[in-house]
């Protein structure tokens, strides 16, 4: 099989264009401007860059961006209270709490507190469970992006063998579910896999 280079930048640009078109149609036809609330706790340099990029992309797509920057010392109770307010705010349609969070805050508790309908990261137990059972759900963007990229090279992934390296809740596990939904045969390798070269590439 001949290798094929996937032009991720071109695919991303095309996707951003479609999102912007959909956003503008909502504003024109329904007077509805999608609103994304992004919550950043502390001053993690990588997280600040990531959040800045998300905010820029949201605004560039015709959405409203509501940034909430909280000190490293914010209490878990105060963060939960903010999530509760965003859940009930009608102009906020998506909520993203940037991870990682400081050690004194239970990240799972915060993620579980987000309204599943606004959980744009797809990390909540509700969305994760719906994805696992094959129901429509909000899906983490990285694994979904992997499937989109893979399908640019082939119109269908049905019957292919895929090896997913990693079993995180953010990428590995949801990617497995997305590939299974595409009718691929999936093997999962991880840090305890005995002999990775024997697993990848699939024979």
Active-site positions read 54, 98, 121
- What is the distance between the alpha carbons of residues 192 and 25, in angstroms, rounded to a whole number? 48
Task: Answer yes or no: are the C-beta atoms of 128 and 95 closer than 8 Å.
Answer: no
CA distance 44 to 99: 10
How many CB atoms within 10 Å of residue 152? 14
Size of the chain, expressed as the number of residues it contains: 203
In contact, 138 and 119? CB cutoff 8 Å: yes
The answer for residues whose C-beta is within 8 angstroms of residue 146's C-beta and 6 or more apart is: 175, 178
Let me know: does 196 contact 184? Beta carbons within 8 Å: no
Residue 70: phi and psi, rounded to 5, are -115, 150
How far apart (Å, rounded) are the C-alpha atoms in residues 81 and 169? 25
According to DSSP, the residues that pair with 96 across neighbouring strands are: 38
């Amino acid at each position: 099989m001949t290798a094929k280079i996937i032009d991720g930048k071109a695919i991303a640009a095309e996707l951003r264009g479609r999102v912007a078109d959909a956003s503008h149609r909502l504003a024109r036809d329904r007077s509805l401007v999608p609103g994304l609330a992004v919550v950043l706790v502390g001053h993690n340099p990588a997280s600040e860059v990531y959040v800045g990029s998300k905010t820029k992309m949201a605004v560039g797509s015709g959405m409203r961006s509501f940034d909430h920057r909280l000190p490293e010392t914010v209490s878990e109770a105060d963060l939960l209270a903010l999530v509760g307010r965003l859940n009930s705010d009608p102009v906020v349609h998506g909520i993203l709490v940037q991870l990682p969070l400081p050690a004194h805050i239970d990240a799972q508790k915060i993620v579980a507190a987000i309204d599943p309908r606004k959980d744009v990261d797809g990390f909540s137990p509700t969305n994760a469970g719906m994805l696992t059972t094959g129901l429509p759900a909000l899906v983490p963007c990285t694994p979904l992006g992997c499937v989109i990229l893979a399908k640019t090279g082939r119109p269908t992934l049905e019957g292919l063998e895929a090896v997913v390296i990693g079993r995180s809740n953010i990428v590995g596990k949801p990617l497995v579910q997305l590939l299974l939904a595409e009718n691929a045969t999936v093997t999962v390798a991880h840090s305890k896999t005995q002999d990775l070269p024997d697993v990848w590439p699939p024979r």
